[in-house]
Chain A
């Protein structure tokens, strides 16, 4: 036993992915819904523990690599864990842990009895794929695990109660497949000009032989492909309906993990594969990303303001929030990445909490129409307060986590000398205040529209526990920002200076 623990330590990077990947078919074999649920939560706990183990390892050794199949790096597939990887792993596995607890209290959407354990199998496959995309250092392997998580995601979305869930899942499938194929083409073009697939090796070869038009094309395809997956502003079309019609627990999971991992892949490829010199100095990538971000964060809040469905309104708000992260990435500086990472983390926990609160209210009232919500705040105090708190954080009011990341973002744009970007950031925040205020006004001040549901269903522990944890984290990081800022800053530093 003593010899197994240190041995296990060396295998943590691969365990992060194969634990859910191999438990998923096991869940299917068991064929029992209760067992599958228990296993899902247990797996989520193990995955979070593995992430914490990896985090403690990266404190001793900044970069951990793992050769799959025992084949050395450019020939075989390599896993690579550094501070940035751990930061993202922690974000998604934390959200996944809380989302799976929350999922225990939900119905499994519109499913037949035979399909119920399959729902949890798909859930585990989705999170396994996302974890695989984060730890891998091989460009093609990113594509394979992207597809695992995407196929599982389409399935999970299609489990929603309303028939439009099917059409939303189909539209996401088409958009997602086009995006993934663009990424595949980009990898093919890179391989054509370099002869390798390992991300570190690719960046070395590109730096040696210089870029050409094929590499530029690869960069363009990659940005479009991953942009679809991140729901970057003009490519966001699939997201609002997919989030709205998905089962509540799935919306909670996706909003905190799927787009976040795609954004991570964007950061990783831009800096570690193409190299910042190529993307930001040779190509006007900073301009492209920043301009799309400005459009996203200014226009989308107005769409959210006119939205009649509570869940879709917050989905639109996700599109707007992604724009802030993309702006941070687009700056290309250390501070910009730090701001992007902070916002990514904040948005993951805040939006997860909001969608949980929305889910609780929808489950009690049976409707997500905003005009039906009059007076709900007095009936569902806890969920409404969390929603309000999350909303304030989306605006970026001082004292909330949202303020911390927006402050760093403003510092980053000033530092880059693009101080005028502070204006759209501020305007976007004001615009998001408008849609948050609308909800607050209806829920707190308007008279009740719906009859009170007969016995006021009390909050189950699987509902209030994850919600309290998220709210507590958001509060803590809002008031005491130094820990998370320090982590984001060292992750950004590790990305830009891999040696030091």
Chain B
């Protein structure tokens, strides 16, 4: 079965680039985190695809099955997904605090403000 060939990797690559574009281009902090999620998911797709064996089945041992897909990438990506959601949660907590401090979640609006430093009168 050679049809999908490298297609999964190519799609993962496009998703990776999409995620990167969102992260670089967006000025909205929430959108940046969504972009980060897409960027990470592209990497997950690469791992899971490389673990697939054609005509294989999920790696849960059973007498009626002879070909199992590779369990190791699954383990790694389970951990990576958890790491991803932990990062998102911390990022969102920061966004919530930024909104409280500045009243906006747009980077441009925050950057436009003059930097306030405690000015001390000599």
Contacts and interface: CB of A to CB of B under 8 A. Distances in A.
Interface string B80-116: 1001001100110011011001100001001000011
Contacts of A151: 86-87, 90
A184 B47 CA distance: 10
Contact of A163 (B43, B72, B101): B101
B97 A158 contact: yes
A188 B43 contact: yes
Interface in B14-47: 16, 20, 23, 29, 32-33, 36, 39-40, 43, 46-47
Contacts of B5: none
B1 interface: no
B46 A181 contact: no
A136 interface: no
B118 interface: yes
Interface of B: 16, 20, 23, 29, 32-33, 36, 39-40, 43, 46-47, 50, 72-73, 76, 79-80, 83, 86-87, 90-91, 94-95, 97-98, 101-102, 107, 110, 115-118, 120, 122
A143 B46 CA distance: 17
Nearest to B50: A192
A144 interface: yes
Contacts of B102: 163
Interface of A: 140, 143-144, 147, 151, 154-155, 158, 162-164, 166-167, 169-170, 173-174, 177-178, 180-181, 184-185, 187-189, 191-192, 197, 365-367, 369, 372, 449-451
Nearest to A184: B43
23 contacts: A140-B79, A144-B83, A147-B86, A162-B116, A163-B101, A163-B102, A164-B115, A166-B97, A167-B98, A170-B29, A170-B98, A173-B91, A173-B94, A177-B36, A180-B83, A181-B40, A184-B80, A185-B16, A188-B46, A188-B73, A189-B46, A367-B120, A449-B122
A140 B79 CA distance: 10
Contacts of A164: 115
B50 A173 contact: no
Contacts of B86: 147, 151
A178 B20 contact: yes
Contacts of A181: 36, 39-40, 43
Nearest to B49: A192
Contact of B122 (A144, A163, A174, A451): A451
B94 to A, nearest CB: 5
Contacts of B40: 177, 181, 184
Given A151-B86, A166-B97, A369-B117, A174 B46 contact: no
Contacts of B116: 162
A449 B119 CA distance: 12
A367 B118 contact: yes
